[in-house]
């Protein structure tokens, strides 16, 4: 097994084990609680990204890559014709389903697919592709292949929206540096540690990198925590 394959297997295991506590990070509760001022800034910026996604208007057939516990799925489902929620973790998908069904809006339009993205081939084309906090987990050597997969999943002139961690420490759940420049150590409750891929992008660099692959993206950051982008093939 190559180093990249090993790292991706460890990353998959990490999110499998982290599923029960993932929402603590998103809600800034439990061991991720940094106080009310931090939480207020965090909520304001998550609302900013949600507003940008709403303005983007993903209303067609949407593929959500790495849906996690469904924080974005429930928003996508409200106006979509159909959402395909893809994740490698059955635990994440169970929580995603529960969140969407509790929200009620558009739950009947969501289908759930458990698959390792790197072993998965799109079975149909979609109007939009969305991914939240996923691009930063794509290793450098698979960057081009990932965007080729996104292209294969889209209809001609289909669109992409994604959100990720900004190049700061505020949004990360890191417990320390990993063995390589593009990795971090992550610790779950109980103290077990995993090494995962975590890469941070500057907007201009990312926009230029995507342009070299034939994509046109508008890339923005919030004040502190997040990067978000929207675009399509050039």
Angstrom distances, CA of residue 41 to CA of 21, 81, 85, 168, 171: 21, 33, 28, 14, 11
Mean pLDDT of 45-59: 97
Summarize the confidence of residues 17-46 as an average pLDDT: 93
Question: Each residue of 84-134: pLDDT tens digit?
Answer: 999 999 999 999 999 999 988 888 999 999 999 999 999 999 999 999 999
Structure tokens at 148: 């080729």
User: DSSP secondary-structure letter at 136?
Assistant: G
Task: Write down the pTM of the prediction.
Answer: 0.93
pLDDT of res. 170: 53
Q: Is 63 helix (H, G, I), strand (E, B) or coil?
A: strand
CB 48 within 8 A of CB 30: no
- Cβ atoms within 10 Å of 85's Cβ, excluding its own: 27
pLDDT of residue 178: 47
Provide the 10 A C-beta neighbour count for residue 224.
Answer: 14
User: What is residue 135's DSSP assignment?
Assistant: G
Separation between Cα atoms, residue 203 and residue 185, nearest integer Å: 24
% of residues, the chain, pLDDT over 90: 87
- With 60 as the cut, is the pLDDT of residue 174 above it? no
Give the model's pLDDT for residue 177.
53
- Please state the rounded mean pLDDT for residues 192-208: 96
Task: Flag whether pLDDT at 173 surpasses 90.
Answer: no
């Amino acid at each position: 097994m190559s180093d990249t394959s090993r790292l991706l297997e460890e990353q998959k295991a990490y999110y499998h084990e982290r599923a029960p506590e993932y929402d603590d990070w998103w809600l800034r509760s439990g061991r991720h609680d940094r106080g009310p001022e931090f939480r207020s800034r965090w909520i304001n910026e998550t609302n900013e990204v949600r507003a940008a996604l709403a303005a983007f208007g993903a209303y067609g057939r949407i593929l959500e890559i790495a849906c996690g516990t469904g924080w974005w799925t429930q928003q996508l489902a409200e106006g979509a014709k159909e959402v395909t929620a893809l994740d490698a973790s059955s635990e994440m998908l169970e929580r995603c389903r529960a969140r969407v069904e509790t929200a009620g809006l558009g739950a009947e339009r969501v289908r759930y697919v458990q698959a390792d993205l790197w072993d998965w081939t799109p079975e149909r084309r979609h109007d939009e592709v969305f991914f939240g906090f996923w691009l930063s987990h794509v290793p450098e050597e698979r960057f081009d292949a990932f965007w080729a997969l996104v292209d294969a999943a889209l209809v001609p002139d289909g669109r992409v929206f994604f959100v990720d961690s900004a190049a700061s420490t505020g949004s990360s759940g890191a417990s320390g540096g990993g063995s390589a420049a593009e990795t971090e150590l992550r610790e779950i409750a109980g103290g077990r540690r995993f090494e995962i891929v975590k890469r941070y992008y500057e907007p201009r660099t990312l926009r230029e990198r995507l342009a070299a692959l034939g994509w046109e993206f508008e890339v923005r950051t919030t004040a502190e925590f997040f990067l978000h982008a929207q675009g399509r093939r050039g």
